[in-house]
Amino acid sequence: MSTFPALRRLVRQLVAFFGVGVAAAVVHYGLLIGLVEGLGSHPVPATLAGYVAGGLVSYALNRKHTYASSRPHREATWRFAAVALVGFLLTWGFMHVFTVRLGAPYLAAQLVTTGIVMLWSFLAHKAWTFA
């Protein structure tokens, strides 16, 4: 029976993480689409700008709503930045491969990339950033 509270906590975290992810994705995709369609930017740098903007939203909301962390900002911020840097590099790598090497449409490439980076981020933040 002791596993049920832990399971409920994990499900609650996943739901909160998903909600925060939607908010961060709106910022990320909004900037990505605006830069590509509105300004004619290349998708790779445009998605990296979107990733940074969405990351700022993600930090603030995940700290409070997903992980309810009491870790001081001076510790959590640099940990979040380290995880985000890996996510940034994964985003660059996958988007480069998908759009430049494989010629995939940038939004389809971004959807796949988002799924990969979201999984990485959830696990890393749960285990290390906000633990």
Whether the per-residue pLDDT at 37 is higher than 90: the answer is: yes
Q: What is the pLDDT of residue 30?
A: 97
Q: For residue 1, is pLDDT > 60?
A: no
| Mean pLDDT, all residues of the chain | 90
SS3 104: coil
- The conformational region for residue 112 under phi > 0 = left, psi -120 to 50 = alpha, else beta, is alpha
Instruction: Give residue 86's pLDDT.
Output: 96
Contact by Cβ (8 Å): 77, 120: no
**Cβ–Cβ under 8 Å, residues 66 and 17:** yes
| Cβ count near 90 (within 10 Å) | 16
The mean-pLDDT minimum among 29-33, 34-38, 49-53, 70-74 falls in: 70-74
SS3 sequence of 41-100: CCHHHHHHHHHHHHHHHHHHHHHHHHCCCCCCHHHHHHHHHHHHHHHHHHHHHHHHHHHH
**Average pLDDT value for residue range 30-52:** 97
Dist CA 90 CA 110 (whole Å): 11
Q: Which of 39-48, 49-58, 63-72 has the lowest mean pLDDT?
A: 63-72
Comparing 74 with 27, the larger pLDDT belongs to: 27
Which tens digits make up the pLDDT trace of 79-127? 989 999 999 999 999 999 999 999 999 999 999 999 999 899 888 988 8
pLDDT in tens, 22-35: 999 999 999 999 99
